[in-house]
Amino acid sequence: MVDFTADPARRGFFSPQRHDAELLDCEVLGKLPPDLEGTFVRLGGEWYYPPSRPDDAPLHSDGYISAFRFKDGRVSFKGRYVRTARFKANLKAGRQLFGYYRNRFTDDPSVRDLDGTVSNTTPFVHAGKLFALKEDSLPHEIDPATLDTIGPWDFHGKYKSLTFSAHPKVDPLTGDMIAYGNEATGPASKDVFVYTIDKAGHVKHEARFEVPYVSVMHDIALTQKHIIFPFAGYVTSMERLQAGKVHWGWDRTKPSYIGILPRDGSGKEIRWFKGPERCMMHTFNAQTIGSKVILYAPFYDSNFFPFFPNVDGAPWDPTKAKAYVRRLTFDLNSKKDSWEEEVLFPTQIGDLGRIDPRYLTQANRYCYTGFADPTRPFDEARGGNLRGRVTNSYGRFDLTANKVDRYFAGDTHSLQECCFIPRSANAPEGDGYLIGVASNYAEMRSELIIADAQRLEEGDIARVILPFRAGPQVHGVWVRPDEIPAFPRAEGIDA
């Protein structure tokens, strides 16, 4: 019997739904912009069977991919579990066979030779293919029409790392994808393999290097000349894994590191810069200006994840899990191995940040991310006692005017990661739509909000109402019709 009720974190709005879903024509409040045509694809984790360890990381939940398809002012919705080898093995057994997050020593012996990924982090489009990504394995290709899982993809056999990042970057000027694998030769290995993959999906360059210590390297940043590799604090080792622990622990004594590698360079050309305690997960953007590399990122002060425990046994400290919009400057002509860091806004933010994708690697003015605005109300009588767990606002952070424009979701709502959609291919930066899913705790349903990115204070243009709770989201991506010509014809709205 499947039982999730023992864990309060998996009850109510957060209880797994364990179903695929499809709506042919969704309810819409307001009026959808007529020029909004394409597909918003989301990926996150949803437990199908309860974890075998009650304190396992939620990052270990099964991948669930969903898509909102927009055309002619109408929307369809589809959601499906990612059918990985792990998902199918659990389904066959009727129970959870896998142990702690990314620790194969804790799995049932019957599945230790299977790929254990859940592919639950980032949906990604390149070379006409749709992928579900997680950094512990190869990409899983997804059929864009049905959302069925096709299987792992190795780029015609030329991608040699055992792992593939959740956050490759695509150069908007060339179409090249910069991808990498951390722990590339196996768990707790120090190897990182870096690849340039052309717009047709073929590997054209490889570089390899070792990190100063093995850590979470979740995201990179890209300029026209350099690749930036940040990591800090989280540690693992073969000894840790053999002792039966969750893959990562936090070591506050470890310095943060950022490696900078020329885009066409060999691994020997990477230069390491060292800084204070930080939790480095995601980035906004970067550019190279002369001898300086400028990085914008929403880094945390310290350990953000309470389920990755401190290695010294100290309790997790939420007062240090604070993220801000930061600007880091690296002088490649200096002999110093440190960087200059500025906090650009006093607003504490979430680190799931986005920019206009057309400006990746180039100077950009706006960054977008969610945050908790303490000046706005939350109705606990209707929404529940969720203090500290609500992201009630999106912000447009203007790096030029030092100004924040705010969108408020509502007094019983919490927002997931936003996505910026340009109004047209030639629209100025920032002219477009901000889109993202809001959890309506009072009505026990999910609502996709669409707002004018230049008029966030005015609220919604429209909301797409789902009559149920959509699967949780980690990341999402907007897919133009020309990016995947075979993207789904939606029954009903395409009839």
Q: What is the mean pLDDT of the chain?
A: 95
**pLDDT at site 15:** 84
The verdict on residue 276 lying in a domain is no
pLDDT exceeding 70 applies to what percent of the chain? Answer: 96
The verdict on residue 318 lying in a domain is no
**pLDDT at site 170:** 98
How many residues are present in the chain?
A: 495
Which amino acid does the sequence have at 218? H
* DSSP sequence for 354-385: B--GGGTTS---EEEEEE--TTS---HHHH-S
**pLDDT at site 495:** 46
For 468, the 3-state DSSP assignment is: coil
Q: Which residues form the domain of 130? A: 1-153+474-495
Closest CA to 38 of 419, 452, 459: 419
The verdict on residue 4 lying in a domain is yes
The verdict on residue 8 lying in a domain is yes
- How far, in Å, CA of 292 to CA of 425, rounded? 30
Taking only the tens place, the pLDDT of each residue in 358-394 is 999 999 999 999 999 999 999 999 998 887 789 999 9
Taking only the tens place, the pLDDT of each residue in 447-478 is 999 999 999 999 999 999 999 999 889 999 99
The verdict on residue 256 lying in a domain is no
- How far, in Å, CA of 329 to CA of 332, rounded? 10
Alpha carbon of residue 128 to chain centroid: 20
Into how many domains does the chain fold? 1
Taking only the tens place, the pLDDT of each residue in 121-154 is 999 999 999 999 999 999 999 999 999 999 999 9
How far is the CA of 329 from the CAs of 260, 288, 332, 367, 446, in angstroms? 12, 10, 10, 18, 40
**Per-residue burial over 78-88, b = 16 or more CB atoms within 10 Å of its CB, e = otherwise:** bbbbbbbbbbe
The verdict on residue 90 lying in a domain is yes
- How far, in Å, CA of 398 to CA of 310, rounded? 35
**Longest alpha-carbon distance in the chain:** 64
The verdict on residue 353 lying in a domain is no
**pLDDT at site 486:** 59
- How far, in Å, CA of 227 to CA of 224, rounded? 9
The verdict on residue 29 lying in a domain is yes
